[in-house]
Structure 1
């Protein structure tokens, strides 16, 4: 079979949407699966639905290594096949689309002069990035004369300075890294480099006044290259695509910035799930507390109840009812967005958990559950207590399930070993070393003793949870129920009748 490119599709008489030629208006630092399955998909949809007429140049911000993805992308004329699949409106959905928004790919270390030359492009207006969570960090070792600077903020500062020298307007900069206030943190790093490198007050003012650094919240699971299915997909398509990409059908992009962004980027005209707001934090709170919080509060008890996959949990009447109890009656009442917004999001979360194309293992989600429970569940529990003056039963039980899951006996190199009470199979608890050492040292303690030790561990929670009125006793009682009747019975006792 021939490689996917425009010539191959022309020979196949392909009649789907394609945009072959258009100005490059977007420079994207990051060529990975997520950005191609999320941001570039949105741009492609705006090209078709709203006449955006925009191409994207991708920049690999790190060296290529042995797998030369840049060359593959360019050999395919930037084209790739994206499959979005999942459960939507009660039905299984699988959509396939050839994405034609990407023009080409450059590598920052091989093509740095060509990257800098793009700063002279009068049509260029948007910079997007996803350089991983470690990408937005200030590195004082970066120098202005480096070609390029080793860090992404250093590279961006060099690029912006070239733009400034060309006396051209700045950019809308959309940061997609998974850190708090990603856009603002990126701006801080850029301003620090400008200061350290003595690039002048005029350039600093230009950075602040001509550029919009947007913190954004991105929400879509992109599962990437479907290695086990790639051959059959290529055979069905009639071409070889080495950059196949897959993701869930759900997607939301929340952008913190001025409403004028809607005037420049036709998200609304294309009917895309993009929200431009002056404060993205309530949306992040909604995602973390509902989506991630539902995972963390449910999976450990479900695993102890004999389940292995998230999707299967959604079809278990006890587990699904327990999760709904936690979400609708205990988490949503503590959130700042409207009940309607939160319940709509929660409904989508339930459908995402049912995705038939993703086998999301409970043990994989259990990784580092101590920090996850603190960040994702504890704020809802404490918020509920503050608002209603009583304990939320499902979230309280989730803390007991966490303790029950972590009661391992043998600490090894891979983690803390424990045995599932239902399946009788050994499993490995993975967390930070001090957490695992704590549970190993306290193995064999009574429920009362262990709960007291866990809740009072301020290194875990940042506070002494035994001071929350009634929490220690309630968690102990829930742990007793797990021991005597099983995790499923403990979850069942939380469900409103």
Structure 2
């Protein structure tokens, strides 16, 4: 079989949608699985549905990357979006053709900077991981390239400014996809810091502010990447070798914070795509973190101790799934600000996503860093519910007891805090200070452990024992877990 490219597709008589020639209107920092299954998928759909007529040039953000493979395949790759949708199993295949090439700035940064001279270029997208948007004062303007992503972007924007001056309309719409709060604004802040540090001039800094739109965005899709165990059979079925096969869940949602005029420029709505352009992305981020992530964090530790290993299997257990749904619908949704109908629709999609037959999502992998996760994802719902109703949310309170029971390890080693579930050993992974704390309290009884954890302000940023009745209720629930197990506690919450 031949490697995937346009000639190969012509030879096998491929008759699906392809866009071979179009101007490069998008520069993307990041060539990994996520952006190719998310942003590039949406752009490819825009091209087909609305005549957006845009190609994407990729730039790998770190030295090791996929540039050679992408260029060998002329930017083409096969994407599979799989899961449950409206109660049915779905497996959608699409060849993505919006990518032209991938540049390696560590081999030829000048080629990247030349893209800034392209008058058609209008959009910059990026996902350089949570650590990518960071200001490193050791970066210099003369570095080839700057080591930080914001440093590279500043160099790129300066070349644009040098080429077109302050000409109106030659700035960029910059869509940041990193998983940090206010990602677009944080990126803009870093760029302006570099412009000041490198003394690139007031005119340039004013141009950054006035001609460029740094959009904060929320991204939501689980991307499972290259399907190593299935790749050979997929290639055999397709009749070509694709070294860049990408897979993800069918669900996808992108919220972009920007002015209404952006809806005309980026006609996602016209294409019927799940992309929302709004003046405030925060309620949608809160919805995702509280419902999707909060649901995970609320039930997985208890479900693991009850003998489950995979999220999908939990959804087939009436008690565990019931506990999760009661947490979401009765205790989390009432604390959120979006319309109830929207929240419940999103919640229903969460259950379908967790049932995905193509993803074996291990509970232990979700358990990583559960202390900070509980603080960020669940604690706001606990406090919001208490403030709104004056009572403790039963399931959320129980989830804190599940967390304490899960973190009752026996031996602290280099690779984590070792604990036991029945006849199995599992490893608790968290910040070392967290593990050392629990190791120091491993002999505590339920009441003492609950008090120690609730009053640890380093964990929560406040003293949780001050929440009326919380410490006492958690200690009681932890005793019930010791006597009857987490499964029976979940059952009691549903009674």
Aligned residue number for residue 31 of structure 1: 31
Matched, 1:101 2:98: yes
Aligned residue number for residue 284 of structure 1: 285
Mapped to 1, the partners of 2:155 and 2:290 lie a distance apart of: 38
Matched, 1:214 2:218: no
Aligned residue number for residue 268 of structure 1: 269
Mapped to 2, the partners of 1:429 and 1:138 lie a distance apart of: 32
Aligned residue number for residue 446 of structure 1: 445
Partner of 1:493: helix, strand, or coil? helix
Mapped to 2, the partners of 1:136 and 1:206 lie a distance apart of: 21
Q: Over aligned residues, Cα RMSD in angstroms?
A: 0.9
Mapped to 1, the partners of 2:309 and 2:59 lie a distance apart of: 39
2:119 to 119, 122, 130: 122
Aligned residue number for residue 11 of structure 1: 11
Deviations 1:175-226 (A, max 9, x none): 0111111100100011111111111111111100000000101000111111
Partner of 1:297: helix, strand, or coil? helix
Structure 1, unpaired ranges of 5+? none
1:114-193 aligned at under 5 Å gives the runs 114-167=111-164, 168=167, 169-193=170-194
Mapped to 2, the partners of 1:198 and 1:448 lie a distance apart of: 59
TM superposition shift of 1:278:
1.2
Aligned residue number for residue 61 of structure 2: 61
Mapped to 2, the partners of 1:128 and 1:255 lie a distance apart of: 12
TM superposition shift of 1:442:
1.3
TM superposition shift of 1:425:
1.1
- In 1, are the aligned partners of 2:269 and 2:276 still within 8 Å (CA)? no
TM superposition shift of 1:424:
2.5
Mapped to 2, the partners of 1:77 and 1:338 lie a distance apart of: 45
Aligned residue number for residue 471 of structure 1: 470
Partner of 1:494: helix, strand, or coil? helix
Structure 2, unpaired ranges of 5+? none
Matched, 1:76 2:73: yes
Deviations 1:45-78 (A, max 9, x none): 00111111110000112213xxx62111111110
Deviations 1:15-63 (A, max 9, x none): 0000000011100011111000000000000011111111000011221
Mapped to 1, the partners of 2:450 and 2:145 lie a distance apart of: 53
Partner of 2:247: helix, strand, or coil? strand
Mapped to 1, the partners of 2:467 and 2:339 lie a distance apart of: 27
Mapped to 1, the partners of 2:328 and 2:37 lie a distance apart of: 28
TM superposition shift of 1:260:
0.9
TM-score normalised by L of structure 1: 0.98
- Dislocated runs of 4+, deviation >4 Å: none
- In 1, are the aligned partners of 2:263 and 2:277 still within 8 Å (CA)? yes
Mapped to 1, the partners of 2:338 and 2:466 lie a distance apart of: 29
TM superposition shift of 1:473:
1.3
TM superposition shift of 1:413:
1.2
Mapped to 2, the partners of 1:132 and 1:258 lie a distance apart of: 26
Aligned residues: 491
Mapped to 2, the partners of 1:111 and 1:46 lie a distance apart of: 30
TM superposition shift of 1:438:
1.4
Mapped to 2, the partners of 1:492 and 1:10 lie a distance apart of: 58
More displaced, 301-310 or 115-124? 115-124
Partner of 1:444: helix, strand, or coil? coil
1:252-263 aligned at under 5 Å gives the runs 252-263=253-264
TM superposition shift of 1:111:
2.1
Mapped to 1, the partners of 2:482 and 2:173 lie a distance apart of: 55
